[in-house]
Structure 1
Amino acid sequence: MERTLLLKGKVKEAYDLGDRLEFQFTDNISVFDKVIPSTIPFKGETLSREGVYWFERADEMGIRTHFLQYLPPAGMLCKKVDILPTNRITPQSRNYLIPLEWICRWYVAGSLFDRVKAGEIAAQDLGFASGHVVKPGEELPEPFLEVSTKLEKTDRLIAKEEALQISGLSPQEYEDARDIVLKIDEDINRSVASRGLIHADGKKELAFDMDRQIMIVDVYGTADEDRFWDRKRYDEGELVDLSKEYVRQYYRQTGYKDRLYQAREEGKAEPAIPALPNDVVGETSRIYIKLFEMITGEKFKAKG
């Protein structure tokens, strides 16, 4: 079977097999939109197997997915969908990637808190009482679900009206998609809570199949796609953001993050991101393996 490289992303590769796609998860790691010149042992395998774990749970819940088969150690075989320009999408289009990303938040974290601080989002927008002082790490009264563009050069958050316009979704299909995202997230929350994790937020991608039925695509619920916190440390008043946050903190401490963002603000050439020291590589690998075990409840044993 002919195997053609279709897409080489920062951490994942997609191969066209004709009527199907093969995804391979690499051991590469990226932060601040920069690929680090270091690889993290077993990172790709843990992400791939986490993706398979959630796809199998989705299938048990009756949710359609594009997943077909796990390809050890770090790959998967998936249904192929078309990538259509938004101006070619119609309410009758089938088998295409819905050009939206669904971001579901259960706690105040990351860019959401930045927007609260900047006055872009009020407490009542998040379900709190008017005048409530929103704090980082605070559990939201209700899930906060947003959509962003998916196929533009820079993704941007959009309102429901524009989402309907560019995606080909009917108002009912939009609500169906929202229900699927929430159902999946509720399952993630319940599942990882029993193993000492908090699922703070995550993102999902959807597509229509050949029958114009919604299915979940790409991967989700992984250490790279979602934010997980250590429950014990959270209860002690500390936010410990597992997985890549450890690496982000390393580059903050070395001053690289500040130099990078200053160069971007000033329109100057971006400084190359340095490789990680061996001890940081080792600890990062350990974190990815530990998180795999906490997400899946399975002891990690390499299949490669």
Structure 2
Amino acid sequence: MLNIPEAPAIAGATHLHSGKVRDLYEITDGPHTGELLMVASDRISAFDHVLESTIPDKGEILTRMSLWWFEQLEPLVANHVISTDVPAEVAGRALIVQKLQMFPVECVARGYLTGSGLIDYDQTGEVCGVPLPHGLVDGSRLPKPIFTPATKAELGDHDENVSYEAVAKQIGPDDASMLRELTLDVYARADEIARGVGLILADTKFEFGVRHDDLGTRTIVLADEVLTPDSSRYWSLDEWVPGGTQPSYDKQIVRNWLLSPESGWDKGSDAPPPALPSEIIERTRARYVEAYERLTGTTF
């Protein structure tokens, strides 16, 4: 069960929506009136719960990392960022972004087999209708990256893996083809950059929208967050050993603790997860910081 705290009021902006991590506002005053203010909180979620504990600086780390990636990817795809000149109360963890017509599809690229893709593969030998070779295990590198889209679920529900054909039927074959091409191109470039600093980008998800300019030109734009530990699975190249769960640069530390006897929490119960110990909070923050610093080469 999600228990998202009420989003704070921000002068000159109207709150529209809150997700597990981000709060979205429409700007109602100033030069960017009508555009959106996207705020990354320090909230963390696990097993479809938003925890009462927060991870200090997480929102700022995610925002900085998204900005850095948007800059790296500009030669490949336009993005929705307008400005980082945001209200003081959300400085460092918010962006002013364009209002787009969003595609109702999570665009997932996988270069390795794990997570929900592994579950699909073990049951069918395929992932989202894409046949894969026999004998793959958790953490196997795929012969080539694949596009494995998912439908966007209601808040609190799981996204559902779907076939490419289902996406083409929903949004049209031309847009589906473009989203698949963009997703795989962006993944390939991001994986190349990550490998340059000793990281594997196992899989990631993107969101795209459509922008219309004053001349009527239609452009597909990369939106939301991009290539952060909340939307991507990073592994250390030196530690990668197929055949089991790989240590990842995300909230795996939190998940592992919640599932341990030490937490005292029953994942199958209706009870919310307990507060995180300070050590787990500190280790999780350090993992996010390490991912940011390794990728960008800058100190947080």
Alpha-carbon spacing, 1:236–1:102, altered in 2? closer, same or farther (3 Å) = closer
Matching of residue 222 in structure 1 with residue 228 in structure 2: yes
Alignment partner of 2:276: what SS?
coil
Please say if residues 66 and 225 of structure 2, whose CA atoms lie closer than 8 Å, have aligned partners that are also in contact. yes
How many residues end up aligned between the 2 structures? 272
Paired residues of 2:209 and 2:222 also in contact (CA < 8 A)? yes
Quote the offset at 1:257 in angstroms.
9.4
**What does 1:135-284 align with in structure 2 at a 5 Å threshold?**
135-150=137-152, 152=154, 154=157, 155-167=159-171, 169=172, 171-210=173-212, 211-234=217-240, 239-254=246-261, 259-260=266-267, 262-263=268-269, 270-284=270-284
- 1:78 lines up with 2:78 in the alignment: no
Task: Give the aligned residue type for 2:219.
Answer: Q
The normalised TM-score by structure 2 is: 0.84
For residues 9 and 206 of structure 1, what CA distance do their matches in structure 2 show?
Answer: 17
Higher helix share: 1
Q: Which residue of 17, 29, 41 maps to 1:7?
A: 17
Q: Residue type matched to 2:191 in 1?
A: N
TM-score (norm 1): 0.83
Alpha carbons of structure 1 residues 237 and 164: separation in structure 2 relative to 1, 3 Å: closer
The answer as to whether partners of 2:112 and 2:203 remain within 8 angstroms in 1 is yes
Unmatched 5+ stretches in structure 1: 82-95, 264-269
Q: Deviations over 1:23-76 (max 9, x none)?
A: 1111111111101111111111110011111111222x1411111122441111
- Give secondary structure in 1 for the equivalent of 2:97: strand
Change (3 A) 1:235 1:146: closer
Structure 2 Cα separation of the partners of residues 187 and 62 of structure 1 = 9
**In structure 2, what is the Cα distance between the partners aligned to 1:40 and 1:223?**
13
Structure 2, unaligned runs of 5 or more: 1-10, 28-32
CA-based RMSD of the aligned residues comes to 2.3
1:90-105 equivalent positions in 2, closer than 5 A: 96-105=101-110
User: Is the CA contact 1:43–1:288 (under 8 Å) kept in the aligned structure 2?
Assistant: yes
Seen in structure 2, the aligned counterparts of structure 1 residues 162 and 249 have a Cα distance that, compared at 3 Å, is: same
Q: How far did residue 200 of structure 1 move?
A: 0.1
Distance in 2 of aligned mates of 1:166 and 1:257? 44
Change (3 A) 1:121 1:236: closer
Letter of the 2:293 counterpart: E
The separation in 2 between residues aligned to 1:103 and 1:73, in whole angstroms, is 27
Give the conservation status (yes or no) of the 8 Å contact 2:110–2:204: yes
Q: Which amino acid aligns with 1:162?
A: A
Q: Which residue of 2 aligns with 1:69?
A: 83
Identity of aligned residues (%): 27
